[in-house]
Amino acid sequence: MVDEKKRRRIGIRDRIRIQACLESGMPPSKIAEDTGFSKSAICREVSSRSTFEGPREMRCRQGVYVCNRCGKRAHCHRLKAFYDYASADLDAEAKLSLIHI
């Protein structure tokens, strides 16, 4: 018998853990190991649920496109993207409620 993984949604506790890992400088592969999700799921979560500051012209090329830990963010002229678990969870809940209407 093939052992199938049960699919589960990323919840508020997972998002809190993802934000803490991003702020400590962990790469997506380590965050995936820590949370039990795939690396691609972590990257999709962070890139789709990040909030942006300033004009959306350029894309920061470091990490998973977030500036949570970047030491140069005060003087950087690039687009600043931040991952915040609370706004990410609100966004996910809003999208889920639209689907179930």
pLDDT of residue 5: 62
Provide the β-strand partners of residue 53.
Answer: 80
Q: What is the pLDDT of residues 5-58, one digit of tens each?
A: 667 889 999 999 999 999 898 989 999 999 999 999 999 999 888 887 765 544
pLDDT of residue 31: 94
| 3-class SS string, 26-85 | CCHHHHHHHHCCCHHHHHHHHHHCCEEECCCCCCCCCCCCCCCCCCCCCCCCCCEEECCH
Q: Residue 52 and residue 72: Cα distance in Å, rounded?
A: 16
Average pLDDT rounded to a whole number, residues 68-78 = 77
Give the span between the Cα atoms of 5 and 3, in whole angstroms: 7
| Range 87-99 average pLDDT | 86
Domain residues of the chain, as ranges?
12-99
- Rounded to 10 degrees, the C-alpha dihedral 42/46/48/50 comes to 170
Give residue 54's pLDDT.
65
